[in-house]
Structure 1
Amino acid sequence: MNTPAHHPPGPDGDAAREGLHPLFRPRSVAIIGMSGKPGSAGQVVLGNLVRGGFPGDVYLVGRSGGHIDGREVFTDVAQLPESLDLAILMLPAEAVLEALRGCVARRVRAAVCFASGFAEMGEAGRAQQREMAEVARAGGMTLMGPNTVGYFNYVDAFYVMMVELVLPPRLDPAAGPAVAVAAQSGGIGAHIAASLQARGVPISYMMTTGNEAQVGLAEMISFFADDPHTGAVVVYAEQIRSAPGFLAAARSARAKGKAVVLLHPGRSEQSQASAASHTGALAGNHAAMRLAVSHAGVLVADSLEEVIDLGQLLLRFPQAPTGGLGLVTASGALCGITQDYVEPLGLALPPLAPEQVEVLRSHLPAYTPPRNPLDLGTLAGWRPELIGLGTAAVLADPAVGSVVVSLPMPEPQASVRWLQSFLDGTADSSKPAIFVMQNEDVALDPAFIALARRSGTVVMRSPERALRALASLTRFGRDRAMAVVSSGQTAPASQALPVLGTGTQAEWVGKQVLRAMGIRTPEGALATTPGEAVRIADRIGYPVVMKAQAATLAHKSEVGGVLLGIRDEAAVHAAWQQLHDNVAAADAGLVLDGVLVEAMGDRGLELVVGATRDAQWGPILMVGLGGIWVEALGDVQLLAPDLSAAAIVERLHRLKAAKLLTGFRGTPPVDLDAVADVVAALGQFMLAHPHISEVDINPLVVYAAGKGVIALDALVVTHENGAA
């Protein structure tokens, strides 16, 4: 797994938000590194400030001195007045540290550094970046960057950019809350902001955080959570450097009714088998990040298109739905396409309730079936009011959580009438609704655009993008609804753990850990002599299984270290010798702890349950089809460690092999409640015992409902000595 980058703790809480005010809306600015050459970067920054109408004082510092646009250019930072709000550093990397020290001496409250050549260049650059952060922190200064391309504050028309801008529109406060964009890539941040603006979505801020020597995404989100102009936050992250800070900021934003949408590349890490256990191999750093941030209330997008679509949706509809999809269209073909498209996404089109059927029947001709999806056919052209009536009826159905109205583009005046009918139909509903005007390569009529923007309508041009966005939003809503931990939920009473060494533990030790969690294992014990093995077998009853035991023998079956169906004393002696011969053939120097002798378990459905501890994001759980199938199919669900039992059962039903859990071809349903109890106990155990790195139970055999489970094998890995 990846290790987190060194990230010194930045300002937090109220201090962080207060520290960002000089960056976002300063009263005075110094541009350091000015050149008299027309078109130089410093002059471009100055021009953007002036053309944006910045009302505060602007000071210039440059080696050549002189005057620029009537302003004196100081030759030394020491000539600046004290207690300026913001210093904009237009300097090469080698000059930044000295300038920061000079700014601290003048009690400058904040600085933004554009220069590259720091942590992205290797260890020397990282050391210089750390020193910059330490200088700023010691001086009580907030530092943004280095390696940022700047930012836009649309609220105050304050623009800090190194490129000459066609100044973006200033936010109209009367338009209501806006989307804030925070990105570690200037190009992606600008693309997201521009794409949203092109749809008429208001933007409050577009911030690029660069290398985040001090201020990063967590501080941005915390600021936006309290900002009255911001209603939703879109984040592009290539590396989240402060996991606890990011999670706390996301929870704060959600608590204040502001959605956070994240795009984070790197999903291919899930295919890297970088850990010893199945859980570690299937739960890479990106998977752990996704699980942790989702559990904190962040909606994680899978593409650039999706993060834009979801940002627009969540600004307008901050409460994610849990119900199915409603579709109103004028195309029977689109009804079929939609059914095919949403099924893999887990979003159904539920049949309408009888009440809604009757409402529709009263408005529709006999040849138009009142159902979901609702195909109006040619009726939309000569009875446009049916668009609104149909939309209202579908939205009123309790099983419907969101609706798409997708229509081919008509002539311009009709498009406005259709949109107005849609608005009439959605007026009494708070459920997410998207109006799709198809023919996406054809420009929209200006009157249509004006009405859409005045009304705040979510308009898209692609039915597929609309469906994908609503499917993601609905999955998120369902996860949020199920993720509530039962109030007062506590870990089950547990026995004392055995003393554990560092690293991988032998199976017989791992099973002691499971029993301490209250998880049932086969009856048996460790034998160190053949005679002891016979006594254990006589006590627990034949047939038995015998397993060679050593901490370094993780895959016993592959070396002949597991023998099944041993039925008498003579077979025990023979198995003892065979096990030792098999292990010696594979590794002549391996010394066994002994042989684990256990009762043979009854057959049942084999699952895998595991946990691993990500260095940055903490514990992550896994449950799925077990035995050899976990490696062959990878049919697993990843879970947060503090989910309720009900949420765990719901996630079990998302497995591709879920039919096997509920009864398949004459087999009875299995004991899902017992599986959920094991997963919940393991989650609480990982939270309570930070020295445990991994636990892998494979297989966990589950029996028919009410018959419980039993753990047939266990792998436990620690990263420090000592008992819990």
Structure 2
Amino acid sequence: MGDLDRILNADSVAVIGASRDETKRGYQAIATLKKSGFEGGIYPVNPHERRVLGLRCYADVEEIKEAVDLALITTPAHTVPALLAACGRKGIAGAVVIAGGFGEMGSQGKRLEQEIKDTARAHGVRLVGPNTSGIINMWSGLNLVGLADVPKGDIALLTQSGNIALHLITEAKLRSHKGFSYYVGVGNESDIHFDEYLEFFRNDEKTKAILMYVEGLRDGRTFLQQVYTTSREKPIILLKSGRSTTGQKSAGSHTGALAGISEVARSSFERAGVINIEHPDQLFPVAETLSSLPPIRNRKVAILADGGGHATIASDLLTDLGVEIPTLSDRTQAKLKAILPHNAAVSNPVDVAGGTDSNPEIFAECARILLGDPNIGGLLIVGLFGGYAIRFAEKLRFIEEDASHQMGKLVRKSGKPIILQSLYNSVKPHSLELLRYYGIPVYESLDIATKCIGELSRYGQYLSTYKLKTSFQFNWGAKAKKHAVGIIQKARSEGRRYLFEYEAKEILRRHGAPVTHEQLAKTADDAVRMARDIGGSVVLKIVSPDILHKSDAGGVRLNLENEDQVRDAFHRIIDNAREYKPGAVIKGCLVGSMTKKGVEVIIGTKIDRQFGPVVVFGIGGILVEVVRDVSFRVLPLSRAAATRMIDEIKSAPILNGFRGSPALDKQALSDLLLTVSEVIESYPEIEEMDLNPVMVHDHGIDIADARMILKKATAEKPPLD
């Protein structure tokens, strides 16, 4: 925190690469610092210049006699390592590295980025960037972006795109009374990561909301842990690019082929309290709203309209966002009827039916009644407000403005939010500017207005439930079982990364999971004897460290009823395996009882590159990768997260009972998801796990098949935690 404070609240700046050329960043930065009113020391550095913009220019930073907090490096990439070393010798806390040409440019750039990172660390200098557009502290005038007239406010802006930042800053200047406390172009996140900036802004009194555009994360799990801490105190609004990416494929398991990065990011961000935004035009409005208004605690909203069309559309949009539009109490409806025409709709949505045409102050009176209803958490006003003087009569202008004053004071008094959608927003009448003065956002787009109040509702819901969620931290190995550790060690000693099915099931059994019991038959006679002992129908499966997908190799035979079928199946399975993979080591066949028919689901885990261990749940069987009806969560799981995973797949109605069939045992499924989470936390050596199929019944479940893949030899180091 101390380093970041000296960087983002720097009292002095060395501009390395200072220039008298107006097109150069080394000129623009100094000019903007002076124009922005920065009162700290500004020290141009360039061995080829004597003065820049009236300031003495130094040959290098070590010539500067005064203490310097921060350096802005505007020179080419290859010059950066030596300059960082000089900054370290000078005692400079941080450096903002503008140049590109590092990790984003391939292997040579990655080597150079590692060099500057190592140099900075060795000399005690923190890095912003590289490949960054710069930083701004709007309150001190510390503007190292070269962008003038950035509006000052209480939203911190973190992005990996200078163009996105420019878009958001321009939108704030043109359409809002809101502005920014800080801007940080995170760049390549080489040294200072997103989570460190979040911690800084969480503790910054001038910041009320954090607005983010993220392309990639260096340390996703640490980021989630910091988000979980920060989002309880300040809303985090985030747009994550790359939604079309299907994620990395893994030939080793079904789970690897299912886990797309965008799905993992979306679910984990939501669980940590992030407000996920998918459309750039919603990004600033949602941040403006959440930084200005109190959250809606009960997800219940009233709609006040001066036209049925807008009210109906708003209802549909809010319902799609999961917001409830409850019928108003009889008492509230009676109060509304007393001030509105007899044909007004007062149940919710409320349509004033022309009751405001001659007196728009009725809007304020209706708002007071609606927010006075204890069952209503917030209010959306849609239609013509702000334009009555334009649409009907000039004398209504002052009445509208007075209504704006009343509604602004009402929000402050009631602690409940109002958002307004107006057809006249682009005209900017004074009545709407007054609403903005009071922190009531106004939008012309009904989609954006409903999105904003929907996110107020979602954030309020999160604040009420975050204690039910996990903090994304593992207690590695705490619940490991000695015998299960021995199974993993045995596989390692044999040079195997793949556990045999019976080994994987034994680990699960040790943690209380309901797995089927099998025995290893090395000969056909063994298989016949074991089948006889089991009784009833049995299943045979190939056991080979070289064959992972048994069905693909013809290595599974089901519903074997007698000794001849068992003997024949054993020989066929062995022959199929040898034909499928000549030279494969074959241990024999597992013999087990047939599981009872049920609905097939899959539960599996993998290591996500950004977030670490992830679990997937969905409809299973051989078509799992075709149907792709799955949900994802970053581990470890809470009970609430496990329940939501089950309920959010499209096929959830099948589990709830469908067309007269009994409801299936979702409690047992939830228990198994928590067991899987415990297993992964107990053995960091496990890279992937597939339980497919898991047969779900009305009472209980059976794990018919289990697969575990260990990490490579260095697996003992816990991933991303």
TM-score (normalised: structure 1): 0.87
Tell which deviates more after alignment, 315-324 or 483-492: 483-492
Structure 1 residues 356 and 156: alpha-carbon distance in aligned structure 2, compared to 1, 3 A threshold: same
Q: Partner residue of 2:230? A: 253
Structure 1 residues 279 and 157: alpha-carbon distance in aligned structure 2, compared to 1, 3 A threshold: same
Q: Partner residue of 2:74? A: 90
Structure 1 residues 650 and 224: alpha-carbon distance in aligned structure 2, compared to 1, 3 A threshold: same
Aligned partner (choices 28, 32, 45) of residue 12 of structure 2: 28
Contact 2:220 2:611 (8 Å CA) reproduced:
yes
Deviation at 1:193, TM superposition (A): 2.9
- Distance across 2 between alignment mates of 1:357 and 1:718: 64
- Distance across 2 between alignment mates of 1:631 and 1:703: 23
Structure 2 counterpart of 1:663, one-letter code: G
Q: Secondary structure at the match of 1:143?
A: strand
Q: Partner residue of 1:305? A: 281
Indicate whether 1:296 and 2:272 are aligned.
yes
- Please give the per-residue CA displacement for 1:399-425, whole angstroms capped at 9, x wherever unaligned: 655442211353342754664564466
Indicate whether 1:712 and 2:704 are aligned.
yes
Indicate whether 1:436 and 2:424 are aligned.
no
Deviation at 1:690, TM superposition (A): 1.0
Indicate whether 1:530 and 2:547 are aligned.
no
Contact 1:524 1:598 (8 Å CA) reproduced:
yes
Indicate whether 1:182 and 2:158 are aligned.
yes
- Please give the per-residue CA displacement for 1:588-636, whole angstroms capped at 9, x wherever unaligned: 4334322222222222222222222224312211222222453233222
Aligned partner (choices 144, 149, 152) of residue 167 of structure 1: 149
Aligned partner (choices 100, 107, 128) of residue 112 of structure 2: 128
Unaligned segments of structure 2, at least 5 residues: 390-396
- Please give the per-residue CA displacement for 1:26-56, whole angstroms capped at 9, x wherever unaligned: 3233222233445543232221111222222
- Distance across 2 between alignment mates of 1:451 and 1:439: 14
- Distance across 2 between alignment mates of 1:94 and 1:277: 43
Aligned partner (choices 479, 487, 496) of residue 499 of structure 1: 487
Q: Partner residue of 1:613? A: 607
Q: Partner residue of 1:102? A: 86
Structure 1 residues 647 and 385: alpha-carbon distance in aligned structure 2, compared to 1, 3 A threshold: farther
- Distance across 1 between alignment mates of 2:518 and 2:440: 66
Aligned partner (choices 179, 182, 196) of residue 219 of structure 1: 196
Deviation at 1:554, TM superposition (A): 3.4
- Distance across 1 between alignment mates of 2:27 and 2:659: 75
Structure 1 counterpart of 2:163, one-letter code: G
Deviation at 1:23, TM superposition (A): 2.5
Aligned partner (choices 407, 413, 421) of residue 383 of structure 2: 407
Q: Secondary structure at the match of 2:591?
A: strand
Structure 1 residues 499 and 668: alpha-carbon distance in aligned structure 2, compared to 1, 3 A threshold: same
Structure 1 residues 373 and 648: alpha-carbon distance in aligned structure 2, compared to 1, 3 A threshold: farther
User: Pairwise mapping of residues 448-487 of structure 1 onto structure 2 (< 5 A)?
Assistant: 448-472=431-455, 474-475=457-458, 477-478=460-461, 481-482=464-465, 484-485=467-468
Aligned partner (choices 532, 544, 558) of residue 538 of structure 2: 544
Q: Partner residue of 1:242? A: 219
Indicate whether 1:151 and 2:139 are aligned.
no
Tell which deviates more after alignment, 646-655 or 317-326: 317-326
User: Pairwise mapping of residues 563-712 of structure 1 onto structure 2 (< 5 A)?
Assistant: 563-628=557-622, 630-704=624-698, 707-712=699-704
Deviation at 1:478, TM superposition (A): 4.4
Structure 1 residues 468 and 635: alpha-carbon distance in aligned structure 2, compared to 1, 3 A threshold: farther
Q: Partner residue of 2:394? A: none
Q: Partner residue of 1:8? A: none
- Distance across 1 between alignment mates of 2:345 and 2:586: 73
Q: Secondary structure at the match of 2:428?
A: coil
- Distance across 1 between alignment mates of 2:652 and 2:332: 32
User: Pairwise mapping of residues 360-399 of structure 1 onto structure 2 (< 5 A)?
Assistant: 360-395=336-371
Tell which deviates more after alignment, 569-578 or 357-366: 357-366
- Distance across 1 between alignment mates of 2:161 and 2:512: 48
Structure 1 residues 211 and 108: alpha-carbon distance in aligned structure 2, compared to 1, 3 A threshold: same
- Distance across 2 between alignment mates of 1:216 and 1:646: 30
Identity of aligned residues (%): 29
Structure 1 counterpart of 2:260, one-letter code: G
Structure 1 residues 96 and 564: alpha-carbon distance in aligned structure 2, compared to 1, 3 A threshold: closer
Structure 2 counterpart of 1:619, one-letter code: P
Deviation at 1:326, TM superposition (A): 3.2
Contact 1:82 1:108 (8 Å CA) reproduced:
no
Deviation at 1:246, TM superposition (A): 2.5
Q: Secondary structure at the match of 1:380?
A: coil
Deviation at 1:167, TM superposition (A): 2.7
Q: Secondary structure at the match of 1:276?
A: coil
Structure 1 counterpart of 2:313, one-letter code: I
Structure 1 counterpart of 2:443, one-letter code: M
Deviation at 1:69, TM superposition (A): 4.2
Aligned partner (choices 60, 71, 74) of residue 44 of structure 2: 60
Deviation at 1:555, TM superposition (A): 3.1
Q: Partner residue of 2:27? A: 43
Contact 1:506 1:553 (8 Å CA) reproduced:
no
Structure 1 counterpart of 2:483, one-letter code: A
Contact 1:61 1:76 (8 Å CA) reproduced:
yes
Structure 1 residues 535 and 315: alpha-carbon distance in aligned structure 2, compared to 1, 3 A threshold: same
Q: Secondary structure at the match of 1:269?
A: coil
- Distance across 2 between alignment mates of 1:443 and 1:641: 50
Structure 1 residues 36 and 361: alpha-carbon distance in aligned structure 2, compared to 1, 3 A threshold: closer
Q: Partner residue of 1:350? A: 326
Q: Partner residue of 1:9? A: none
- Please give the per-residue CA displacement for 1:520-546, whole angstroms capped at 9, x wherever unaligned: 122432222222222222222211222
Structure 1 residues 365 and 378: alpha-carbon distance in aligned structure 2, compared to 1, 3 A threshold: closer
Structure 2 counterpart of 1:141, one-letter code: V
- Distance across 2 between alignment mates of 1:493 and 1:38: 64
Structure 1 counterpart of 2:107, one-letter code: E
Aligned partner (choices 261, 268, 283) of residue 244 of structure 2: 268
Q: Secondary structure at the match of 1:132?
A: helix
- Distance across 2 between alignment mates of 1:112 and 1:320: 39
Structure 2 counterpart of 1:536, one-letter code: M
Structure 1 residues 674 and 720: alpha-carbon distance in aligned structure 2, compared to 1, 3 A threshold: same
Contact 1:151 1:206 (8 Å CA) reproduced:
yes
Q: Secondary structure at the match of 1:63?
A: coil
Q: Secondary structure at the match of 1:58?
A: strand
Q: Secondary structure at the match of 1:681?
A: helix
Contact 2:432 2:442 (8 Å CA) reproduced:
no
- Distance across 2 between alignment mates of 1:398 and 1:527: 69
Deviation at 1:578, TM superposition (A): 2.7
Q: Secondary structure at the match of 1:59?
A: strand
Contact 1:324 1:399 (8 Å CA) reproduced:
yes
Contact 2:300 2:378 (8 Å CA) reproduced:
yes
Structure 1 residues 608 and 406: alpha-carbon distance in aligned structure 2, compared to 1, 3 A threshold: same
TM-score (normalised: structure 2): 0.88
- Please give the per-residue CA displacement for 1:387-406, whole angstroms capped at 9, x wherever unaligned: 34544555555665544221
- Distance across 2 between alignment mates of 1:358 and 1:550: 76
Contact 2:151 2:169 (8 Å CA) reproduced:
no
Q: Secondary structure at the match of 1:484?
A: helix
Aligned partner (choices 205, 210, 219) of residue 187 of structure 2: 210
